[in-house]
Amino acid sequence: MPDTNIDNQRMEKIVSLCKRRGFVFKSSEIYGGLNGVWDYGPLGVELKRNLKDYWWRVMVHERDDVVGLDGSILNHPDALKASGHADGFSDLMVDCRTCKSRWRDDQIVDKGKGKRCPNCGGRDLTEPREFNLMLETHIGSIKPGSGPTYSMHSTGMTGASGAELPPQGLQTQVEIKHPTGEQVALVYLRPETAQTIFVQFKNVLDTSRKKLPFGIAQIGKAFRNEINPRNFTFRSREFEQMELEYFCRPEQGMELLEYWKEERLKFYENIGVPRTKLHVLNVPDADRAFYSKGTYDIEYEFPFGRQELEGVAYRTDYDLSQHQKASGKSLEYFDEETKQKFIPHVVEPSAGVDRTVLALICEAYTEDEAPDEKGKMETRTVLRFHPRMAPVKCAVFPLLKNKEPLVAKAKEIVEMLRPHMFVFYDESGAIGRRYRRQDEIGTPFGVTVDFETLGEKDAALRDTVTLRSRDSMEQERVKISDLVAKITASIR
């Protein structure tokens, strides 16, 4: 049985380290924060970029059969109507009348004695009701005073959620009154990157001239008005996805669904998430989207429980068929061999950037024992990132900051390493403290320039440095000229 107290404490320490060392901040923190929205600080942004770059490398650059796309965040309402999001992308919501908290229906557990509020334990709960998760905005001039204004009648230009509107009649539709002469249209912030891929399928096919099976990959922001964002960045209202839509012939769908399982598990292993902490959950028929012929989730053992990192779904030809029907434009593929036209099927591995970043941090977070300056054992906090993912790859230290030749040499090394990796120079404080600061942010290598580097004690050691490993804390003497090769071998 997992000890939830220990897991909660671990999560608290991780959240605190993320803020203290500049990985993740609450959005608009100085204004009290915006719930479910996060900003990535100087180290968080590096970690995130390393993850996205590696995904792109593996999923696009190292394959012949995948091309990329960077679609827009603002999506045409007709596209999201056709995909089913405008009408059906909702969760069931329940309010607690006692403490006024709001929950997704599936978060309210009935332990045998009826449903209770997870916050106050109260039983005075509303009936579950549909809540559309899409976020809306408008394009066209919406200066104050020039519109648009809302009324509660329904028209063709509709908003989907009515989420924050007054309680009566908020079913789904609101009218937008145009300011004179202006064209104002309701658009959605995309709830998944996938739909921009489907909508551009024909353009990409025509310009890339790929043959089935082939994929279109995209990394980008998605927005969902989650009822109850929680578990730090795990469930956010603004997040990033890394999605591949892998188009194929209908008869290849099930086989490809299986093929992507191993590929995706390998990916997580290659960024430092061990296979033993990953689980594949086959989504039961009843829980799958009606158009999917098979779906599984790749889950990770977070401190707050086993949760989804990525969903892989065989979506059949549903999306392209829907867009073809709604747009009236052909999204068919012409098979040169059989001379037949058909709508391709698609298998979709869809991963979350923020969730994977969080998994990397949770996995890396370690406390061990190490001697301090005086040899006394102390607790050391280390982020044991895979070197490929680590935000800073190497820290360079002159042993003393007031010895000009040491400083000059250290800065020379920084310049030498810089074109190959993200390097950090630090001259302040005792060397042991400097190592600890780097351990805490997961820097895998530390280079120290000492008097031996200058050849003062032994001419044979001139132009060598100590290279310290974060994990073993062992140091080896390495020639400066070997540093680039030695470090790049493990960060690629």
Residues forming contacts to ligand GAP in the complex (CB under 6 A) are: 192, 194, 224, 226, 235-236, 239, 241, 243, 308-311, 348, 350-352, 354-355
- Minimum distance from residue 317 beta carbon to ligand GAP (Å): 16
- Which phi and psi (to 5°) does residue 51 adopt? -65, -50
Query: What residues contact residue 427 under an 8 Å CB cut-off, 6+ apart?
Result: 397, 398, 401, 407, 410
**Cα distance between residue 104 and residue 125, in whole Å:** 12
Nearer to ligand GAP, 175 or 263 (CB): 263
Which three-class secondary structure state does DSSP give residue 46?
helix
Nearer to ligand GAP, 303 or 311 (CB): 311
- Minimum distance from residue 310 beta carbon to ligand GAP (Å): 5
- C-alpha angle with apex 57: 52 to 59, nearest 5 degrees? 90
- Minimum distance from residue 52 beta carbon to ligand GAP (Å): 13
- Minimum distance from residue 194 beta carbon to ligand GAP (Å): 4
Nearer to ligand GAP, 204 or 382 (CB): 204
Query: DSSP secondary-structure letter at 96?
Result: B
**Cα distance between residue 345 and residue 363, in whole Å:** 36
Nearer to ligand GAP, 235 or 434 (CB): 235
Reference 99, options 122, 128, 115, 129; nearest CA is: 122
- Minimum distance from residue 57 beta carbon to ligand GAP (Å): 19
Nearer to ligand GAP, 95 or 238 (CB): 238
Full DSSP string of 400-436: -TT-HHHHHHHHHHHHHHTTTS-EEE--SS-HHHHHH
Nearer to ligand GAP, 71 or 311 (CB): 311
Copy the structure tokens of residue 188: 């959605």
- Minimum distance from residue 85 beta carbon to ligand GAP (Å): 10
- Minimum distance from residue 443 beta carbon to ligand GAP (Å): 27
Nearest to ligand GAP by Cβ — which residue?
352
Tell me how crowded residue 247 is: count the other CB atoms within 10 A of its CB. 27
- 95 pairs with which residues across the strands? 102
Nearer to ligand GAP, 160 or 392 (CB): 160
**Cα distance between residue 37 and residue 235, in whole Å:** 9
Nearer to ligand GAP, 230 or 486 (CB): 230
Tell me how crowded residue 180 is: count the other CB atoms within 10 A of its CB. 6
- Minimum distance from residue 6 beta carbon to ligand GAP (Å): 25
**Cα distance between residue 322 and residue 329, in whole Å:** 11
